[in-house]
Every structure is written in structure tokens, then in C-alpha cells.
Structure 1
Amino acid sequence: MAGGVAMWPAVVPTVVGLALLLFLVPHSRCLSPEGYGENKFRDAQMLQDKGHLKEHVKELSEDDINNMTPAEREFHFFKSHDSDKDHYLDGLEIMAAVSHNSDYDSFRRPAPEGETAEQERDRTDREHQERMTVFTGLVDKILSEDDTNNDGMISYIEYVISRRREPGT
């Protein structure tokens, strides 16, 4: 009896506190504008993208997605990017989520006339490096702002709390 029963007094305040926090932290109506320096997990347009959700969650019909609440779409966004199904988003899963929703063309530059194969390879390598620098910066920003227990991953609870924060906090 000592193991399970004695633990309840310590667990109940934590569970109650977490439940209160989820209901008391205000929802943000005006989220951060698009930009690579912003926390993409606070970008409502990205998280509410019905087309993106349909790509990832094949078992849901278009009507199912259209009838979801914003909170339900955000849950499916999180769940669909948890590729290893461990209930956390690690850096690679976060990168996949934000890079999938980004405009790759903004990193591409037109090929100069007379560009050799070697020059093309160098140019595309630079563009790839620029893309990776931006995306790792986005992942670092998300983790630094939203990974409250500093374990290098975002739990669903951390994700929900982050979504309810006001911009700039």
C-alpha cells in the first residue's frame, strides 16, 4: 500500500495544476506574423492548414477535417508529425513540420547563364546550407521557447501551453 497510495497526495496537485493552467492560460488570437525569426508553432495559418492535415492524416475525410475545431486540428498536426509515435516532437520532427510548410523557392536563385555543372552544384549546395541554417534556427527557437523541461523535445502539453501564450512571451 505504501507505494501507490502514498504517491497520490504528491500527484494530485500536479495534475490539478496542469489542468488549471491549460484552462487559465489565454488563447492567442493575434499570432506572430510570417517570418523565419518567429516561432512557427505559434503560427495559426500553419497549424490550421487543412490541406497539410489531409496529406498527413489519410484516414480523415475532407468533411471530417472541415468539421474539426481549431484545437482538434492542432492535435492532429502534433500527432501527424510525431513520426516515431513516442508522444513527443524531437528536433527532426519539428524540422520536418516547419520545413514542410515553408517556401523552398525563397532560397532558390536563378541559374546564371553559362553556369557550369560545378558552379550549379556549388550554388545548390549554398542554397541547401542556407535552408538548413534557417530551419535549424527555427527548431532552436521553438525548443528554447516551448521546451519548458529542457529535455530537447516538445511534449503535447508543452505544445498546447505554447499555443495559448500571447505573442512575444
Structure 2
Amino acid sequence: MSTQAYSSPSKVSSCSHVHRLFVLLLLIVSIILVTVPPAHAKNPINYKSEHSNYGDFHKYAQSAREHLVTQDLSQEPLPKSTEEEDLYYFFSLHDYNEDSHLDGNELMAAFTQAGEMPPVGSRLSRKDLEEMIDHALEEDDTDGDGKISWEEYLASQLYHDAE
């Protein structure tokens, strides 16, 4: 009998965690898209007054966890994680080239659906998106290399949490 036809329990478990993390990402992106008001609204979002350059991460993470708990994706409980682990996961989801930095394109992908520019008439104008990216880089890129490192991102989140 061939043993190649059977998956080890650890492989099945890791697939379950990957599936949960993917659902968490989709939920976070959906929440972000729903909470950004249309560009033509009377009181459009003022990214400069937001608590964080990346939105209220804690609110999105908590909502995503609550959603995952209600979804019976597997019999296994969702593993506990620290706030820093949640932040790192959120950061690494958008670090597509895995260089431990978020560049303008990766920030754009984080601020939009699938990294594509918003179509005409969408909730977020091209100008607003460019201003959000410029603002995040201006405030968080402390070494001036045009990218936000994990350390810079973490420092920004801790700073905004302290406010």
C-alpha cells in the first residue's frame, strides 16, 4: 500500500489554519471596503484625522475573530494570538514580495480590493488613494527609503495605540 495517498494530521491541521486565515483576510478587506464612505459623501473620510494610517485594525481583527468563531470551519478552536502577532499577520498579508517592507504598490493593495485602482465612481478616488499612500509613507517611513518596514509599521501602531 502506498503511503503517499494519505495526508498526515499535521498537514490537514495546517490547511485548516490556512483556510481560516484566508477567511480572516477576506473579512478584514470586506469590512474596510464597507466602512469607507463614497468620495461624493458630505463628510468624506479624512485619513489625516484617523487614529491609525491603516484604519482601526483592532476593530477589524475583533470582528474577523468573532465571525470565524461563528463559522464552523473545523472542530479545532482558533489559536490564541497576541496583539503583536495579529499586527504581524496583517502586515505580512500585504508584503507580497516578502521583503519585510510595504512599498507604495503593497500599500495600494492594502487600501483597495485586490490591489487594483478604484474604477471611476467608486468609493475611493484615485487622488484619495494616492494621498493615503503618501500620508502613510510620510508618517511611518522614518528612515526615508520609500518603504515601511515591519519595525516602522509596529512603531506606528504602538504610537497610535498609546494616543
- TM-score when normalising by structure 2: 0.52
How many corresponding residue pairs? Answer: 105
Which among 138, 141, 147 is matched to residue 144 of structure 1?
A: 138
1:40 paired residue number:
53
Runs (5+) with no aligned partner, structure 2: 1-35, 37-44, 69-75
2:91 to 66, 78, 90: 78
Larger Rg: 1
One-letter amino acid matched to 1:141: H
Which structure: greater helix fraction?
Answer: 1
Question: Conserved in 2, the CA contact under 8 Å of 1:40 and 1:142?
Answer: yes
SS class of match (2:110): helix
Q: Show CA shifts across 1:96-120 (max 9, x none).
A: 112249xxxxx9xxxxxxxxxxxxx
- Partner residue of 1:158? 152
- Rounded to whole Å, the distance in 1 between the matches of 2:77 and 2:130 is 32
SS class of match (1:41): coil
Query: CA RMSD for the aligned pairs?
Result: 3.5
Look up the equivalent residue of 1:163 and give its one-letter code. Answer: Q
Residue 78 of structure 2: aligned partner: 63
Residue in 2 aligned with 1:11?
Answer: none
Q: Which runs of 5+ in 1 are unaligned?
A: 1-33, 55-60, 102-106, 108-123
1:53-95 per-residue CA deviation (whole Å, 9 max, x = no partner) reads x8xxxxxx8713xx11221111001111100111100011111
Tell me: CA distance 1:130–1:48, structure 2 relative to 1, closer, same or farther (3 Å): closer
CA contact (8 A) 1:78 1:156 kept: yes
The percent identity for this pair of structures is 28
- 1:117 counterpart residue number: none
- TM-score (norm. length: structure 1): 0.50
